[in-house]
Structures are given as C-alpha cells and as structure tokens.
Amino acid sequence: MSRVHVIGEGEEVAARLYPGAEIVRLEDAFPKEPMQAVVVFSVLQRGTYAAAMGMLQGIADRLEEGGEAHVFVPSLDWAARQMMKAQPSPATEFVIYGPQYSGP
C-alpha cells in the first residue's frame, strides 16, 4: 500500500501496519478517489450505532478492489489474548496504552 487513510488517532498504528506508506488523516469527509487502505482507530465507540454503520458503509463504498480496512475499538480482552501470542498484532500496544505508547 502506498497510501493509508486514517480516521481517529491511528497514525502510529497505520505506520506500523504499512511501513513506508503515506499516511493521510481524514477529518471531515472521505476522499472522492478510491482508497487503498483505511485505519479507523478508537472512533466507532463514541457515536451511535447508526453513525458507526454509516461510517463503515462509507469506507466499504470507497475501498478499491483488494483494499483493506482495519477497525480498532478498545478491547482489553482482545489485547490480552494478543499479548499471549508469539507474534501479536502490531496494534496491540496501541489498544492497551493508546496514544501515549511510544513504541519499542
């Protein structure tokens, strides 16, 4: 992926998932061009179910064929299970520690 769009505070997560990719922060609207990858970080839990579904549908509508969407919502249970794995998800520390995580 050469460009990753980010919704929320997920720039660091996007950089870990897609090293070397251009990170584009989305503030108010989706881009008109198809998106290669999207990282939604700690946003969906702040709104209504309808708003979350609208955002997810908007992402699905704008992803290019073969594109990827990564959606993160706080889940300590998921993070704890990831920490027990030999190779946990690169986003695990961000789910546990949030934006104050400074990396390895």
User: Could you tell me what percent of the chain has a pLDDT over 70?
Assistant: 92
**All domains of the chain in start order, with CATH:** 3-74 (3.40.50.150)
Residue 94 has pLDDT above 80, yes or no: no
| Residue 40, SS3 per DSSP | strand
**Residue 36: which of 6, 9, 1, 61 has the closest Cα?**
1
**Could you read off the pLDDT of 5-43 as tens digits, one per residue?**
999 988 988 999 999 999 999 988 888 899 999 999 988
Residue 99 confidence class, pLDDT cut points 50, 70, 90: low
